[in-house]
């Protein structure tokens, strides 16, 4: 099955839930974006690795990497393998004693480890086809701004918005809403609208 390589674009704070975040992955050779909603702890684990800010005591992912290094287990790549009911599933592709092993993983954990091992992140093409969001216009700056609590980069606080029942909108209205969400970099909202559109296609 064809795999598409992704890279981390940024981490954004959620609009609808105060303690939720979205890690935004982008197609390396393309304009499709894949927002994945994660929790605060997962966002922190990814952010500290991106910023190369080692904590005073090792986080769980740092400990896991140390153990893998100690026992000569190499993480060659991570692959996002499935999407079910709005949840992404991933596998760690590890090499041990010359043999390849696949280990099931939460996608947020897989991304956090991929950064620490400097290994590529892939997704099966058919999943990106159905869940990816095409970036219509490139933003003026591709600088990655992490949420303020995870980075030295300050960010303007964004007001919370009420949850929306997207099932009440027409197809055309949803397409406009998802474009507006992308322009405003509200990736969590865009992901929710994308999931509603995918439901209607089934």
What pLDDT, on the 0 to 100 scale, is given for residue 52?
A: 83
Structurally, how many domains does the chain consist of?
A: 1
Structural domain boundaries, residue 28: 3-157
What pLDDT, on the 0 to 100 scale, is given for residue 147?
A: 52
What pLDDT, on the 0 to 100 scale, is given for residue 154?
A: 29
In a domain, 32, yes or no: yes
**How many C-alpha atoms does 81 have within 13 Å on its Cβ side?**
14
In a domain, 168, yes or no: no
Of 74, 70, 46, residue with least CA distance to 59: 46
In a domain, 169, yes or no: no
In a domain, 190, yes or no: no
Longest Cα–Cα distance in the chain: 55
- Given a contact cutoff of 8 angstroms between Cβ atoms, the answer to whether 38 and 24 are in contact is no
pTM assigned to the model:
0.71
In a domain, 52, yes or no: yes
In a domain, 184, yes or no: no
Q: Could you tell me the CATH number of the domain that includes residue 41?
A: 3.10.690.10
In a domain, 165, yes or no: no
């Amino acid at each position: 099955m064809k795999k598409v390589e992704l890279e981390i674009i940024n981490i954004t704070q959620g609009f609808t839930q105060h303690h939720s975040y979205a890690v935004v992955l982008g197609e390396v050779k393309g304009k499709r974006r894949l927002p994945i909603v994660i929790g605060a702890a997962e966002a922190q684990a990814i952010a500290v690795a991106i910023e190369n800010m080692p904590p005073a005591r090792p986080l769980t992912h740092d400990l896991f990497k140390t153990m893998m290094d100690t026992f000569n287990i190499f993480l060659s790549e991570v692959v996002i393998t499935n999407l079910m009911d709005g949840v992404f599933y991933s596998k760690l592709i590890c090499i041990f004693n010359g043999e390849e092993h696949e280990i099931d993983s939460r996608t947020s954990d897989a991304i956090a480890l991929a950064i620490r091992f400097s290994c590529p992140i892939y997704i099966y093409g058919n999943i990106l086809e159905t869940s990816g969001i095409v970036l219509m216009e490139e933003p003026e700056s591709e600088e990655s701004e992490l949420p303020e609590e995870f980075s030295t980069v300050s960010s303007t606080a964004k007001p919370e918005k009420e949850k929306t029942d997207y099932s009440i909108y027409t197809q055309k209205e949803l397409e406009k809403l998802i474009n507006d969400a992308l322009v405003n970099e509200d990736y969590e909202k865009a992901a929710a609208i994308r999931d509603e559109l995918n439901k209607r296609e089934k």
